[in-house]
Amino acid sequence: MDERLRLGTGPFRALFISSPGIDPAPYGVNAAVAALREGARVTYIVNNKPADAIRAIADIMGFDLEEWERTGQLRILDSFTAYMSIPSEEAYRVDAPQEVCSVVRTVCENTPKDGVVVLDSISSYIDMCDGGEDEGVRRILDLIASVCVGRHIIGLLSTWGYEPAHVAQMRSAFDTVLALQPVERIAIVRQFLRAEKIDGKATSDLVVPIKVMRPGGVRVFFPKILVTGPYHSGKSTIVQAISTSSVSVDRMGTTIAMDHGYLDYEGFAADLYGTPGQELFDPILEFLAEEAVAVILVVDATKPETFPRARRMLQLTKGYALPLVVAANFSDLPEALAPDEVRDRLGLAPETPVVPIIATRKAGADELLKALFALLLRDERLARLETESGTTGVEENGAFEQ
């Protein structure tokens, strides 16, 4: 993900723009922690809740901010308490949050030229502005322009039915815009992150399902990856080999229901579902495969005679329609076929990744995951799913009569 979002040289301006049902604060905290881990100085401006709330969010996500705060690498700037007309106990605070110059001065005093500023939240700044939406937008754009000289800035904006022109202005004030969007039925069932532009260039091919893990932070999350393949090809062993934790429903060493694994790997998370391989379970394969977003097809590279069965399983699970990676197991044995030959004999497209693997020793597991996630990040079907998602329930142009 970071590879795709790698920004150009010089200060960056990134905006997380979220539908109202999604709380963007964990994304701000996650971005701050990522910058802190890179050694950057971070100023986190919080203007709609006490600074302690940010520490609490970080704590729930499994991040300990104490050491970064103690050394001054992280400064949480209380731009909220003054609204409440109560004295702030924070070391870093803005005394007049309504005044742009006061905020800018305090931020600049606390953030070096190459530092990172997280602005949580732009929407609250607008909502709490005594001059209304027009004035709020004008002030926040002023603030961003002034703070941004030489500094990186990450903004959080919830789209509470603002004037479309104002939202457009916000979007253009940032080089990178990442939209956090829900898939809603009545409730939010899934969240997606969609890059609208990266480093000033519009983009449409980066859409990933995303989840805030507590603990764990923000992860690109694939809710269902299917692991299927012929009987005794090593599916359960592969699920165990690539999972952070797993469980198998088996009888006398053979999977009779399914394997389940949870995988946490370099910012990605996924739930893995392994199918049984015996033909007698074919009637349930279709149901096990429902709503899968990708398939790992496991084959025994020494037994090409099982490949027709592998193809049949791909048909039953509708795996041909999904991003597909082949795990060629038992690749250490002398009679194992080479990856190209496995691909040919399976009749798969030349671009289908075939990864040699020795599941019992976890050899090749890393390459398998890299191939899988690279494929998923390129998958245009996710983009289509995202655009088909439901509405937020808020009119884009929330009518307001004065």
Partner 1 sequence: MERSNSERPGPAGGARRHKTGIDGLDELLNGGLRPGALCLLTGPSMSGRGTLARGYFHQGLKEGGASMYVTTKNFTEDIVALLEEKRWMLASHAGRYVFIDAYSPQSDPSLKDSDEVKYVASVADFARLTNAIVSSMSDYLARGTDNQRLVFDSIDTILMYVSAQGVYRFLSYLRAKVKGFRASSMFMIEPELHDDRQVRTLYQLADVIIELKPEEGLIEVTQPGMPRRRGAYRVTEVGFIVVREPID
Residue in the structure block whose two tokens are 């997380």: 16
Query: Closest separation between CB of residue 178 and partner 1, Å?
Result: 16
Query: Closest separation between CB of residue 212 and partner 1, Å?
Result: 11
Query: Closest separation between CB of residue 78 and partner 1, Å?
Result: 12
Query: Is the distance from CB of 211 to CB of 225 less than 8 angstroms?
Result: no
Answer for which of 121, 176, 233, 317 binds partner 1 (CB under 8 A) is 121
Query: Closest separation between CB of residue 309 and partner 1, Å?
Result: 38
**Does residue 304 touch partner 1 according to CB under 8 A?**
no
Site for partner 1 in 12-51 (CB under 8 A): 18, 20-25, 48-50
Cβ neighbours of residue 2 under 8 Å, at least 6 residues apart? 34, 267
- C-alpha 161, offset from chain centre: 25
Kindly state the tokens that stand for 343.
């691909």
Nearer to partner 1, 161 or 353 (CB): 161
Nearer to partner 1, 48 or 73 (CB): 48
Nearer to partner 1, 25 or 326 (CB): 25
Query: Per-residue b/e over 15-36, b at no fewer than 16 CB within 10 Å?
Result: bbbbbebbebbbbbbbbbbbbb
Nearer to partner 1, 90 or 379 (CB): 90
**Does residue 80 touch partner 1 according to CB under 8 A?**
yes
Give the sign of the dihedral formed by CA 131, CA 134, CA 137, CA 139. Answer: negative
**Does residue 84 touch partner 1 according to CB under 8 A?**
yes
Structural Rg of the chain based on CA atoms = 25
Give the sign of the dihedral formed by CA 291, CA 296, CA 300, CA 306. Answer: positive
Number of residues that bind partner 1 (CB under 8 A): 42
**Does residue 127 touch partner 1 according to CB under 8 A?**
yes
**Does residue 161 touch partner 1 according to CB under 8 A?**
yes
Q: Nearest 5°: phi and psi at 230?
A: -65, 165
Count of beta carbons in the 10 Å neighbourhood of residue 327: 31
Nearest to 18 by CA among 183, 193, 209: 193
Query: Closest separation between CB of residue 48 and partner 1, Å?
Result: 4
Query: Is the distance from CB of 106 to CB of 81 less than 8 angstroms?
Result: no
Query: Closest separation between CB of residue 22 and partner 1, Å?
Result: 7
**Does residue 352 touch partner 1 according to CB under 8 A?**
no
Nearer to partner 1, 130 or 291 (CB): 130
- C-alpha 379, offset from chain centre: 14
**Does residue 148 touch partner 1 according to CB under 8 A?**
no
**Does residue 395 touch partner 1 according to CB under 8 A?**
yes
Interface residues with partner 1 (CB under 8 A) are 18, 20-25, 48-50, 52-53, 56, 80, 83-84, 121, 123-124, 126-130, 132-133, 136, 158, 160-162, 186-188, 392-395, 398, 400-402
